[in-house]
Amino acid sequence: MLLAYCNISIFYSLYPYLEDLGIAQQWRGLIISSSALATILCFLFVTPRLSERTAPRAVFAGIGLLIACGLAYLFVRHTLGLLVLRLFNGTGIALLTASAMTLLVGEIPPERSGQAFGFYSVAMLLPYSIVPALFDHVGGLLPGPEYGYALMSLALVPAALVNLALLRHGRGRVAAKTPQAVADGGQGVGFAAMLASARRPATGLLLLLNSVYYLNFSALFFLSKSLFASRDLGGVGLFFSIQTGLMLATRLAATRLFDEVSKPLLILWCYALTGLGFAMLWTTHSQAMVVATALVLGLGMGVGPPSLNALMFGLSEQRLKAVNSNLMVMALQAGSFLGPILGGVAVGILGYSGFLAVGLAANLGGIWLSLLFQRRGWTGAIS
């Protein structure tokens, strides 16, 4: 998972790279976002067919496709070719992450789901705090960003070796299972069962909560630099370093907390502090406020994904745990895709205060949904 998200975060430099290639402005956004669209569509078709038996083969397919795509960036430099390449790149990400999630869910003890998803969310977030900074320093040694994309794809070779070990481990686990358990774990749940699960109120609302979280996260990530510049503020790098560092520290230090405290209460904490952070950004005009806001957002957003994913895990039937966890990843992709788009529209209509107002409203909606979970007793056991 860590190496998969390294192969997502490496494309932080894609927009200026497309500009340097002379790609028309109206195509750049589509080329960048086409990867997320391909990931979402692939999740819809692949997730219901995955099982503990088929997932390792899909991991190999995803790794192979991502390595091929990474090397192809060295040669593909025109609009249509890059669009197709990004679509294949998103497909490879979906195959790898959906399959890895299926294997992960098969290993999680129910009483430690919060801890497991805490570590999983660290593996997701860590690349965003390391990869851009690393390649900003070593980028000057490379002929161009495309060589960074190729090198990062080759970092998936160790992941293939890890997958071989998981494959052998999985065969041992299958041998120890009952014939019925082997049969249940050897096939996917099917598309109809996945849709029926998504229509359950608790499942659907959790998917919405997860999308709102990543909508806020991605809008903040892509628009904060322009917000700070509009107010003659520096320190956006410091802002993200504090926020991301505190999110990582929270998830590492409080992994057991995610299992011991009511998960809807932790989600409520997430949206309450994130909403407060958006409100503080509204009035941020000094470096002291930049630091204070980053601290509040880090403490709030740090507890969100582990609690959301662990709650979905606890509310899902055994046969649907993997598919529902992958639906959460698809909701992540949807939020990440919509965040910059909706945030940009809000900025265009209302200015940066409008973008922050929309974020604050989204967090108020998250608070309301969290309270709804608490009132209905959806706290992590199948209902």
Q: What is the mean pLDDT of residues 119-130?
A: 87
- Give the separation between CA 275 and CA 293, rounded to whole angstroms: 11
- Give the separation between CA 184 and CA 202, rounded to whole angstroms: 24
The helix (H) or strand (E) run that includes residue 200 is none
Gyration radius from the chain CA atoms: 21
Average pLDDT, the chain: 86
Of 157, 167, 218, 198, nearest to 47 (Cα)?
A: 198
> Buried b vs exposed e over 221-230: b needs ≥16 C-beta within 10 Å?
bbbbeebbee
Q: What is the mean pLDDT of residues 8-31?
A: 86
Give yes or no for residue 114 having a pLDDT over 90. no
Give yes or no for residue 61 having a pLDDT over 50. yes
Of 194, 186, 164, nearest to 47 (Cα)?
A: 194
Structural fold of domain 190-383: Growth Hormone; Chain: A; (1.20.1250)
**For residue 270, what is the DSSP state?**
H
Q: Which two three-digit tokens encode residue 32?
A: 């960048």
Of 3, 4, 110, nearest to 329 (Cα)?
A: 4
- Give the separation between CA 237 and CA 147, rounded to whole angstroms: 24
Of 140, 58, 61, nearest to 101 (Cα)?
A: 58
Residue bearing the bigger pLDDT, 241 or 59: 59
- Note whether 1-188 and 190-383 share their fold: yes
Q: CATH classification of 1-188, choosing from 1.10.357.10, 3.40.50.1100, 3.40.50.1820, 1.20.1250.20?
A: 1.20.1250.20
Residue 214 has a CB neighbour count (10 Å cut-off) of: 22
pLDDT in tens, 125-146: 888 888 887 887 887 789 999 9
Of 361, 31, 22, nearest to 219 (Cα)?
A: 361
The answer to whether the beta carbons of residues 93 and 64 sit under 8 Å apart is no
Q: How many CA atoms lie within 13 A of 176 on its CB side?
A: 6
pLDDT in tens, 88-109: 999 999 999 999 998 888 888 8
CA dihedral 54, 59, 62, 68 (to 10 degrees): -120
- Give the separation between CA 298 and CA 256, rounded to whole angstroms: 19
Confidence bin at 172 (pLDDT 50/70/90): low
Which residue is it, tokens 């969100």?
304
Note the pLDDT of residue 339. 81
Sequence ranges of the domains in the chain: 1-188, 190-383
Note the pLDDT of residue 178. 44
> Buried b vs exposed e over 273-298: b needs ≥16 C-beta within 10 Å?
bbbbbbbbbeebeeeeebeebbbbbb
pLDDT in tens, 175-207: 445 444 444 445 567 888 888 888 898 899 999
